[in-house]
Structure 1
């Protein structure tokens, strides 16, 4: 009787995540996770502070870009603090509300990144293909509405996803991931998940179709405009900006797509699934601020000015 009650308590209150490293590798794993999180915090906060503190960067492109490091911090902060706590405590158990919270913000990060990059692609399309209309279209009010729509759409779509999840009873407590996400939490359910699966696939398909369609449309016209342009400097600047954006988008899409597919293929290695999932939460938040900081001329110049003035002052 006591054993049954203990089992019921554990199922209802805790989720067990799965770490597969040996005890002698704990220090290495902890050090790697801590350093990764520190790099992500430093790079993204540097980009945020640079844009916020420099009024010359308060342009539509940079204001939209500002949302990307904020979103990256949401995703990485959902993952790393909880992971580091579990490693330090030598515990694989996480309270169910904390697990749901972690999963919610990880999915907010995934949804937000796609929408933000799509909004940034539209901004580049207007700037390059319709430069005379840019100041008329990309007004402060329009940017505010766009940013609001980005976050509100992510919150609503992911909020419904988790409302559908929380209505279902659970009879298991072990997941095969190192962190909590919606597919892992659905594996704990002992009822039909058809509605959840349909809704999850629907919002993924619709959002990806819109994002990829918008990206393809805008970049096709950007390429056409660049090749028609007789000014080599304009063509080179446009191509550099678009190449940067496209690299970030393709990296996120490939990692996200591999992660989604890995959950749908039963025979795929759990280790490979973990690798894809962790890569999606580590590489984009690390590389995004570095790519945009180095490739965006205005941001690069402001960072260099700050380093010369504050870090390497003249003697």
Structure 2
């Protein structure tokens, strides 16, 4: 029997499967986490924009990270919370909204890697070529690095979803807490072999470039620090690089947990929770790590707090 093509304009989301007793505690926990992500990341973003002393390449490039965290969480979490308050049978989403959410989700996950890559390049130039740092890391270079990170991300994600949008659909159920590319092309009754191949190439390219770039820059930074007897340089390198590397490891830890759980049956709900944590955990920890570790940001925050105390 041939598969029937429906191309329904409305899809049904599985969402999070939670016992009735835990719906409101989970909802309030997600609400608190989302508000914390938005306030902390927006706050540190505004702090860098408004404070002239922080208008340096390192912090200007870092601005991409809080922006991406707010964007990525806003794409997924509010919709997920609304669906939690609905019965399972009423969790509907239009196909257009589902594609839009999938686009936002993949933009967030891909951009997280590329933004950290350009930040690693900045640290490499600052530590390995400090005498030419100001001539290399100009405002124009910062704009180019930012544009390249988002441009490459946009291109890869558009191809990813473009291959899925060409397929006819005969299914309407998204077996996931939110829409992503894999959930969408699984609705198709046509061959999705090209989608699977490109998906693997896409994942390998993003992960491979990310690991290679971070590994290469940090190996060169380590070589410079080991060969240098300048304690001031080594101390500065350790502070700035440890902050960046911690943020990178948090992102990868959350991502790896999600990927590992995909390989085991019977842990679907844990996988969904891990996918959600991939958004929330870095979004909460990133501004906290930079606020505590970066001396200049910490000084600006303390200056603002002291000024408020004097006014009161």
TM-score normalised to the size of structure 2?
0.93
Residue number in structure 1 paired with 2:172: 173
Per-residue displacement from partner, 1:116-143 (whole Å, max 9, x unpaired)? 0000001000000110111111111111
Residue number in structure 1 paired with 2:193: 194
Q: Is contact 2:171-2:187 (8 Å) kept? A: yes
The 1-side partners of 2:7 and 2:157 are apart by 26
Q: Is contact 1:19-1:92 (8 Å) kept? A: no
The 1-side partners of 2:209 and 2:115 are apart by 12
Residue number in structure 1 paired with 2:156: 157
Residue number in structure 2 paired with 1:97: 96
Runs of 4+ off more than 4 Å: 7-11
Residue number in structure 1 paired with 2:307: 309
Q: Is contact 1:74-1:106 (8 Å) kept? A: no
Alignment of 1:87 onto 2:84: yes
Per-residue displacement from partner, 1:100-158 (whole Å, max 9, x unpaired)? 11111011000101000000001000000110111111111111111111111111110
Greater Cα offset, 96-105 or 226-235:
226-235
Q: Is contact 1:176-1:270 (8 Å) kept? A: no
Residue number in structure 1 paired with 2:15: 18
SS in 1 for 2:174: coil
The 1-side partners of 2:240 and 2:295 are apart by 9
- Paired residue for 1:42, among 34, 39, 60? 39
Q: Is contact 2:6-2:170 (8 Å) kept? A: no
Alignment of 1:295 onto 2:293: yes
Residue number in structure 2 paired with 1:127: 126
The 2-side partners of 1:171 and 1:29 are apart by 33
SS in 2 for 1:313: helix
The 2-side partners of 1:83 and 1:209 are apart by 31
- Paired residue for 2:57, among 56, 60, 66? 60
Shift in Å, 1:268: 5.6
> What is the RMSD computed on CA atoms of the aligned residues?
1.9
SS in 2 for 1:267: coil
Shift in Å, 1:187: 2.1
The 1-side partners of 2:264 and 2:188 are apart by 17
Greater Cα offset, 267-276 or 195-204:
267-276
SS in 2 for 1:246: helix
TM-score normalised to the size of structure 1?
0.92
Q: Is contact 2:98-2:179 (8 Å) kept? A: yes
Per-residue displacement from partner, 1:58-95 (whole Å, max 9, x unpaired)? 11111100000001111100011111222344442222
Would you say how many aligned residue pairs link Structure 1 and Structure 2?
Answer: 307
Greater Cα offset, 241-250 or 252-261:
252-261
Residue number in structure 2 paired with 1:182: 181
Q: Is contact 1:262-1:268 (8 Å) kept? A: no
Residue 178 and residue 128 in structure 1: after superposition, are their counterparts in 2 closer, same or farther (change >3 A)? Answer: same
Shift in Å, 1:177: 1.7
The 2-side partners of 1:161 and 1:9 are apart by 22
SS in 2 for 1:171: coil
